[in-house]
Amino acid sequence: AEVVWFVVAFTVGDVSGFSLADLLWLMGYVFFGLSFLLQYRLILGTSRQKEFRWVILVVVVTLLVSLAGTLLLHQSQYDPSLSWGMTFLEVFYPVGDLMMVIATLGIARLFGRGMWGRVWLSLLVFAISDSLYSWTAFTGMYAFSVENSNLLSLAVDATYVLAYLLVAMACYNQTLLMRFGPSLM
């Protein structure tokens, strides 16, 4: 998704519409959801019926909160040129990230303060970054080019890069933990 977004931004210059990158990011939520489900299954040994009810609840709550936020923002006339679908996406990403944060905190709590829980905490920075980006993009405060740059856009971009660095560091720590055990940590 990141590579596709970069190519579209670099070649076309305008990434405000729905693109293949959005489709890939939306698919990413499915894979994150599966990873959360498998982690919870591993730790708690839940039944399939209970898992199914939780998945349905999370999906319904995410869609309802996104829909409510979309209705509020679309009626606020912040950016009347933004379509209803694009407004929904701008709201859905932070809401989806918030649901991931809730699952992340749950897994981190189950693992305690141990090394297995730290990997999931790096997703918190992504949630913050995506929320800042959606807000600044929706309000028109985000600068897509250096010529129009501002400190807020720099902070959003820096937070996004930091999120990737933290995920990379968490994955590296996870690799060390799996390969050598906790003695090297």
Residues 113-143 pLDDT 10s? 666 666 666 778 888 888 888 888 777 777 7
pLDDT, residue 77, reads 62
Q: What is the pLDDT of residues 136-175, one digit of tens each?
A: 877 777 776 666 677 888 888 888 888 888 888 888 887 8
Q: Which amino acid is at 74?
A: H
Token pair for 159: 């937070």
User: What confidence score (pLDDT) does residue 144 get?
Assistant: 65
Q: Which two tokens stand for residue 110?
A: 């189950």
Burial of 27 per CB tally in 10 Å (0-12, 13-18, 19+): exposed
Radius of gyration of the chain (CA): 18
- pLDDT per residue over 55-97, tens digit each? 899 999 999 999 998 888 777 766 666 778 888 888 898 899 8
What would the 3-class secondary structure string for the chain be? CHHHHHHHHHHCCCCCCCCHHHHHHHHHHHHHHHHHHHHHHHHHCCCHHHHHHHHHHHHHHHHHHHHHHHHHHHHHCCCCCCCHHHHHHHHHHHHHHHHHHHHHHHHHHHHCCCHHHHHHHCHHHHHHHHHHHHHHHHHCCCCCCCCCCCHHHHHHHHHHHHHHHHHHHHHHHHHHHHHHCHHHC
First to last CA, the chain: 32
pLDDT for 177 equals 79
Residues in the chain: 185
User: For the whole prediction, is pTM greater than 0.85?
Assistant: no
Q: State yes or no: pLDDT of 109 exceeds 60.
A: yes
